[in-house]
Chain A
Amino acid sequence: MIQLCSNDDPPVSFTVPRKAVELSKTIKTMLEDLEGFDMEQTPIPLPNVDAPTLELIVKWVEQHQDDPPPVEKPRVEDDDSDDSDADDDQEPEVVIPEWDKKFLPTDDEQKNQLFKLLNAANYLEIKPLLDIGCKYVADKISGQTVEWVRDYLNMENDYTPEEEAKLKEEIAWAEGL
């Protein structure tokens, strides 16, 4: 068993089976790196994750600890070469499983909790969780207006009116797509 600590004051710690916790690539790498240390006795502090979020993470990894590992696809990043196949890989269809649908904090007032969860999944490198969370957000955003998305994502319109007008012209062509 491995202990994970939240960033709260005082920290809240969770005890998680090693198998489950290894769904997080970040922690898995860390554990592998510290092979030889008695990690069962050393709580791992997670300075980016608060207690409610960590609780969700723990719930999710415990539920999914027996999932078959996802097929890794090497991702070419920032590859400027004109690789004929680089732009070809369509994103595989992500389907949110039933359990996860109920699990995700999807009520509107829980929006920030959802973002915190995705933040944590990103930081802990739990790709399947990140994928279904992002898929949920994308479905939510899909078809909505720019204003709605701004509000939903807590983003501020930081364009000057001039910039905005110019951008509007620049993207006008997309209307017909």
Chain B
Amino acid sequence: MVDLEVKVARVQAENDRLRRTLADFSERVVCGRLTGDLPDNFLEQFSQLPDRPLEQVLRFLPARQVVQMRHVSRRFNHLIRKSSKTMPKMKRDGIVVFRSNKAGELIVGWFNYRNKKIAEATLADHGIALSELLRFIHIGGRMHFSDGFSATDEVLNQLSIAWLTIRPEVLVFSGDLSHTSRDSLKAFFVKVEPFVTQIQFQGACNIADSLLSDDVIGAAGQLDGLMITSVSSGSELPNLNIGDDTLLSMVDAGDVSSYFLVMDCSSITPGGIRAFVEKWMKKERPQLDANYSGFRGLLEACDLAFYKCANVTPATVEEACGDLLEEGTMAESYVGFGGGKKVERVQYIIQCPSSNCRLGIVFSDYLFNCYCKYEPMLEDEIDDYYDDHDLDDLDPEIEHDDFDA
């Protein structure tokens, strides 16, 4: 009812406006002649396009040129800044690498999923330039915060406040995080929460004691993968406040594969692992047809690795959830040579052939390498054959996603 009244009022107002307009026209027409003063800029607009057509023209231009067109005149600049919100964006759904160089400049590189460089921008003044860039480009796919101070508060804040959607699925932090605070990291995770499924701190250095905790990681929502590891197995991470809450939240991860690989996490307890295993085994899964003898679909695999985690050792895990691990579990002692020294690898595996899934728990660092996501080289030449228009065609693997929905 209220809606209708509002609608009626609006139509009424529009009617009044039109009546006035027509009356205005009619007044000016005397004996079939137009009289009275001409509106402001009346003659000018014959040689210049008004804002709306100009805006429409801009929508048809590539982002690079739209940015350069800011140079044309103040009016054009103003119009571009005003309308950049609604303008089509350059789509970048491959890999985006943020890196800072010695001069303190932020370098942003875009790559396709085959690690071919598509474009690169060097931002001297992070604050202004990054916010400018975010007006024109979609960021999707995988984001690397790489060498140097690449994930500083300034950068993360710009990404968080950008009005356009940043939709990375994978975040990889491997730079210097000493200029990164809890608040800005958390705000960034909140921003990308609907899209991000995997977060990896691989070889990031100078992580502050309080930076990584359950609530910060939790801000990123449901994850399928989390990895926290230092540069080399020799160096140590600070005390990480990542505990059983984060571990347990991953039980409901995607139904294809998931991983939780951490080192130096003393807050993880054997009790937490038991709770995880119990929940994981009871997790509802699509029932496989018992009579179906063909391809059984994808194996659901879940890997847990606890390396140098004070409270989690083969012995404590055995003690806490030995009964769960008993059946179908292999406690395998593997002796091999790693870097010249003898390493012992203990792992537990739980297989559920009926529902086609497998859970593995290991206590060494060998899985970290398997899950590491390597960034493409920024030094590559830009691949000229690879422009915007080809992006969708050449990368069918991103088609199935809802980027275009």
Contacts and interface: CB of A to CB of B under 8 A. Distances in A.
B88 interface: yes
B65 interface: yes
B72 A153 contact: yes
B33 interface: yes
Contacts of B324: none
B75 A10 contact: no
Interface string A126-160: 00001101110111011100100110011111110
A76 B72 contact: no
B72 A116 contact: no
Given A138-B57, A170-B132, A154 B47 contact: yes
B123 A173 contact: yes
A142 B61 contact: yes
Interface residues on A, range: 35 or more
Contacts of A168: 71
A91 B88 contact: yes
Interface stretch (B18-26, B315-323, B357-365): B18-26
A174 B67 contact: yes
Contact of A173 (B45, B61, B73, B133): B133
A151 B83 CA distance: 22
Contacts of B165: 82, 84, 87-88
A164 B77 CA distance: 11
Contacts of A90: 88, 404
Interface in A69-123: 75-80, 82, 84, 86-91, 94, 112, 115-116, 118-119, 121-122
B283 interface: no
Interface string B18-44: 110110011011001110000100100
Given A115-B47, A153-B72, A159-B73, A94 B121 contact: no
Contact of A167 (B22, B77, B136): B77
Interface stretch (B48-56, B214-222, B257-265, B346-354): B48-56
A164 B119 contact: no
Contacts of A172: 122, 124
B144 to A, nearest CB: 17
A80 B77 contact: no
Interface string A6-35: 011111000000000000000001100110
Interface of A: 5, 7-11, 29-30, 33-34, 43-45, 47-48, 75-80, 82, 84, 86-91, 94, 112, 115-116, 118-119, 121-122, 130-131, 133-135, 137-139, 141-143, 146, 149-150, 153-159, 164, 167-177
24 contacts: A9-B34, A11-B33, A29-B14, A33-B18, A34-B18, A34-B22, A45-B26, A47-B25, A78-B85, A87-B85, A88-B404, A91-B88, A122-B52, A134-B53, A134-B56, A141-B65, A155-B48, A155-B75, A158-B74, A170-B70, A172-B124, A174-B133, A176-B121, A177-B64
